[in-house]
Chain A
C-alpha cells in the first residue's frame, strides 16, 4: 500500500465548476497535511495547509481533513483555466523531523 494515494487523473472540469481532489494516507500518526500545486516544469507551490479535522477555507480553496478516515481533500470553487496543474497531496510522517511524504499527484485540467 502506498503511503499517500491520489488519483492520477486527469480530472477534467469546465470553467466555473468545483474541482474536487482527494487523497488518502496510511500513517495514522500523521499530524500535518498540505496541498501543493505544480505547473509543468515548475516547482511545487504551497496552496493549503491543514492540521486539525474539519474544513479550512482560503479564497477559492477549501481543504478538508478527516483523520479517522485518513482522508484529506481539496475543493477548488469557480475553477479557472489557470488552475490547470498537478496537485500534490503531502503528509508529514509520524517519525518527526517534518518528513514530507508526497502522493503522485492529480492532474487537473480546467477547460473553457
Chain B
C-alpha cells in the first residue's frame, strides 16, 4: 500500500517523442507536486495542484503540461522531449503547510 506511487519507474525514449508520467496518492492529501532532480541532484519544484487547481507553475518550458483529474492523481505530459529533459521526476503530496511525502521517482533518459 504505497502512499505516493509513480509510473513508470524508468522511461527511456528518443528525442522528439512525447511521454507521460502518472502519479497517485492514497494519503487523502489535497495538494500534489511535481519536482525535477537533475544530474547534480538539485531538486526543484515544477508544478503544484491543490484539489485539482494549479497553484504553483514555475518557469518550465511549455512542453511540460501537468494535469490533475482529481485530487488523488497528478500526471505530467512532456512533448517533444529534449536531451536536457533527462532527469529524475518526483511526485509528492501533502496537506496544506504540512511536510511533503515523495514518490519513488521516474528516471527519464533521452537517447
Residues of A at under 8 Å CB distance from B?
A: 31-32, 34, 38, 42-46, 49, 86, 88, 92, 97-102, 104-105
Contacts and interface: CB of A to CB of B under 8 A. Distances in A.
Interface stretch (B20-28, B41-49, B64-72, B73-81): B41-49
A107 to B, nearest CB: 9
A112 B85 CA distance: 39
Nearest to B31: A98
B65 to A, nearest CB: 19
* Interface band, chain B: 20 to 34
A39 to B, nearest CB: 12
A99 B101 CA distance: 13
Nearest to B103: A43
A50 to B, nearest CB: 11
A42 B104 contact: yes
25 contacts: A31-B97, A32-B97, A34-B99, A42-B105, A43-B90, A43-B104, A44-B43, A44-B90, A44-B102, A45-B102, A46-B101, A49-B99, A88-B43, A97-B56, A98-B94, A98-B96, A98-B97, A98-B100, A99-B45, A99-B48, A100-B33, A100-B45, A100-B100, A101-B45, A104-B40
B111 interface: no
B88 to A, nearest CB: 9
- Consensus secondary structure, chain B interface: strand
A38 to B, nearest CB: 8
B21 to A, nearest CB: 14
A39 B96 CA distance: 26
Interface string B27-43: 00001010000001111
Nearest to B4: A43
A100 B45 CA distance: 7
B66 to A, nearest CB: 14
Contacts of B102: 43-45
